[in-house]
């Protein structure tokens, strides 16, 4: 069985005390690849170094809307250079978030558009973070003519909101949210659209049911896999094979990268 975590902040300091044990547990069960998204220009360098040292960890580079107040116009110029020099797997995580304070909405739109254009030019997929802004995101994707797909991370929208992303070549990220009994709409959507999903933890965020209030840990992706397998009435191995194939479709750079043993 091969499992890919398409969104995991392995470099975040909150994970440090548990990191090696959790990764060893994950590896023993077949998790061999992690996409580690970038969030601020100040942490890109340490993220790149982290991924060089950690077998199976691959970087994406981007400016996360959650840290909107930290981003500067020159960060985008540096991002363009790093995309050429460092060849990350994706641009991310980038996006639009209407739930943050301060909102800086115009700056969010501008930064997201600029990063979509860089990804389009570089031929790279994007890792999108979208909260309460699916319409605005669709408008940006259209305006940029974005054509390289990617992942809408932690998708919790409706079938109607999912559809235009899927048409544009995106997959939807699913993680700990699925383990809550109240997530019925998500359960229905995972069942109805089996070809749409890729696995993620978003560790140390998005704890699974039963672990609220604790940092989420990378090996818990295996519990998410169990839940999906149950919904699809497949064995975990069969579900993992489907999810891994779907992840490689939207992260072609991973398919080319050699798998660590």
| Site residues for Zn ion per CB under 5 A | 202
Nearest distance from residue 129's CB to Zn ion, in Å?
Answer: 6
CA distance 86 to 144: 24
Nearest distance from residue 135's CB to Zn ion, in Å?
Answer: 22
Nearest distance from residue 211's CB to Zn ion, in Å?
Answer: 17
CA distance 11 to 85: 21
* Selection from 43, 85, 45, 88 nearest residue 67 by Cα: 43
When the beta carbons of 75 and 202 are compared against Zn ion, the nearer one is: 202
Tokens of 227: 């839940």
- C-beta of residue 194 within 8 angstroms of C-beta of residue 232: yes
When the beta carbons of 205 and 242 are compared against Zn ion, the nearer one is: 205
When the beta carbons of 5 and 202 are compared against Zn ion, the nearer one is: 202
Nearest distance from residue 9's CB to Zn ion, in Å?
Answer: 6
When the beta carbons of 10 and 196 are compared against Zn ion, the nearer one is: 10
* Selection from 34, 6, 10 nearest residue 205 by Cα: 10
Q: What is the DSSP letter of 70?
A: G
């Amino acid at each position: 069985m091969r499992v890919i975590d398409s969104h995991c902040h392995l470099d975040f300091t909150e994970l440090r005390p548990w990191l090696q044990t959790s990764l060893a547990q994950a590896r023993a069960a077949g998790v061999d690849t992690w996409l580690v998204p970038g969030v601020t220009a100040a942490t890109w360098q340490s993220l790149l170094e982290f991924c060089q040292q950690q077998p199976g960890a691959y970087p994406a580079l981007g400016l996360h809307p959650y840290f909107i107040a930290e981003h500067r116009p020159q960060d985008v110029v540096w991002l363009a250079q790093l995309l050429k020099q460092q060849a990350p797997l994706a641009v991310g995580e980038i996006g639009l978030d209407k739930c943050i304070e301060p909102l800086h909405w115009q700056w969010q739109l501008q930064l997201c558009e600029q990063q979509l254009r860089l990804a389009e030019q570089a031929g790279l997929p994007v890792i999108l973070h979208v909260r309460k802004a699916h319409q605005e995101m669709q408008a940006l994707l259209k305006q940029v003519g974005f054509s390289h797909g990617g992942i809408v991370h932690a998708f919790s929208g409706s079938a109607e909101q999912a559809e235009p992303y899927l048409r544009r070549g995106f997959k939807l990220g699913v993680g700990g949210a699925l383990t809550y009994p109240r997530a019925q709409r998500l359960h229905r959507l995972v069942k109805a659209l089996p070809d749409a999903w890729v696995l993620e933890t978003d560790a140390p965020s998005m704890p699974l049911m039963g672990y609220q209030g604790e940092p989420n840990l990378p090996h818990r992706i295996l519990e998410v896999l169990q839940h999906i397998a149950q919904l699809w009435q497949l064995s975990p191995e069969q579900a993992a094979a489907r999810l891994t194939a779907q992840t490689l479709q939207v992260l072609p750079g991973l398919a080319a990268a050699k798998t660590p043993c």
